[in-house]
Amino acid sequence: MPITDEIKKTLSDPTPLYALAGAGDLAYEKLREVPGRVEALAADRKGAQEKAAATFQEAQSLLTGAQAKVTETVTTLPTDIKALQERAQGFALQQVARAVELAVKAKETYDELAERGKVVVDKARPGASDEAESSEPAAEPVELTAEPSEPTAEPVEAEPAPRKSARARKGAADAAE
């Protein structure tokens, strides 16, 4: 009979019934809160929608302004590049003209120094000093300048100095001894 006693005890124990009644009461209480929460969520949703719409409008206006700036920059870029290219080309031509002018001056100075050196060597030779003094006037001092003058519009071509062959240099060296 132990089973029948247990069944009687289980049916007479009110605890499960109380638990079921407590669960039902809790569910009813939570369901009564639902309409208030739905209204709060609806209000929050409406505020969030308004805020999102305002943010979207602001982003659209910023995007429109940025697009206008990009379009303006892209349209002016080719003219700016072309002007810079023209300036760079003009500057390069000026520098070429200056380099040619300096090369011409350097050759002239070199030739003047060579003439002066020839006079000095001729004077230093024994027995040739009388000839050199009577036939050659005194050499003028050479002025060396490091500053180029203003570039000319047309480049000047420098003539290369004549090169002496090895035989001519040897002959000049033998004559100097």
Tens of pLDDT along 108-142? 999 999 999 898 888 888 875 555 455 555 555 55
Tens of pLDDT along 134-172? 555 555 555 555 455 554 545 445 455 555 555 555 555
Tens of pLDDT along 36-63? 888 888 888 888 888 888 999 999 999 9
Q: What is the DSSP letter of 154?
A: S
Q: Is residue 164 in some structural domain?
A: no
Q: Is residue 125 in some structural domain?
A: yes
Q: Is residue 175 in some structural domain?
A: no
Tens of pLDDT along 90-112? 999 999 999 999 999 999 999 99
Question: Does residue 75 have a pLDDT over 50?
Answer: yes
For residue 108, the model assigns a pLDDT of: 92
> 3-class DSSP state for residue 155?
coil
Q: Is residue 173 in some structural domain?
A: no
Number of domains observed in the structure of the chain? 1
Q: Is residue 98 in some structural domain?
A: yes
For residue 153, the model assigns a pLDDT of: 47
Q: For residue 19, what are its two tokens?
A: 């638990």
Q: Is residue 70 in some structural domain?
A: yes
For residue 78, the model assigns a pLDDT of: 77
Q: Is residue 34 in some structural domain?
A: yes
Task: Transcribe 13-79 into DSSP letters.
Answer: --HHHHHHHHHHHHHHHHHHHHHHHHHHHHHHHHHHHHHHHHHHHHHHHHHHHHHHHHHHHHHHHHH
Q: Is residue 166 in some structural domain?
A: no
Q: Whole-model pTM?
A: 0.33
Range of the domain at 14: 2-156
For residue 160, which phi and psi values (nearest 5 degrees)?
-70, 145
Residue, of 74 and 36, whose pLDDT is higher: 36
